[in-house]
Amino acid sequence: MKRNLIMAFATVGILASCGGGASKEEVKAGADKMCKCMADKTAERGDVSDALAASSAAMDYALCGLDLAFDGVDASTDDFSAAISESCPEYAETQAEYAKTLKEN
C-alpha cells in the first residue's frame, strides 16, 4: 500500500509539473473538486476505526489528487493549500502533508 501511495504522489508531481500555472478560478474549482471527492470517498468508506480512517484518508487524498493533476491544477502550491483551507478546512492538514510529499518527489 505504501508503494502505491508513493507511486501516486510521484505521478501527481510529474503531471502537475508538466503544465503552466492554473488561474485562481481553476485553483478554486480544483479545491472544490478535491473537497467533493474526499466527501464522496469518506461516505463510501462508512464507519471505520480511527486508525483505518486516517490511513485511508491519505490514500484517498492522493487518488483525488490524480484527477486534479489531469486538470492541470498543481496541488503542491501555496495557492491550492489556501483554497483547500477555505473550501474544506478539515483537510488543511492532509493537504499540507500531501503538498510536502509532492515537493519532495
| Residue pair 98/43 in contact by the 8 Å Cβ criterion | no
Identify the pLDDT of residue 86.
Answer: 97
In terms of Cβ atoms closer than 10 Å to its own Cβ (0-12, 13-18, 19+), residue 3 is: exposed
Q: How many domains does the chain have?
A: 1
Cell numbers found for residue 53: 480512517
Angle at 38 between CA 28 and CA 29, to 5 degrees: 15
8: pLDDT strictly greater than 80: no
Tens of pLDDT, residue by residue over 61-101, are 999 999 888 888 999 999 999 999 999 999 999 999 999 99
Range of the domain at 87: 2-104
Average pLDDT for the chain: 83
Identify the pLDDT of residue 15.
Answer: 46
Instruction: Report DSSP state, residue 77.
Output: S
Angle at 39 between CA 55 and CA 98, to 5 degrees: 45
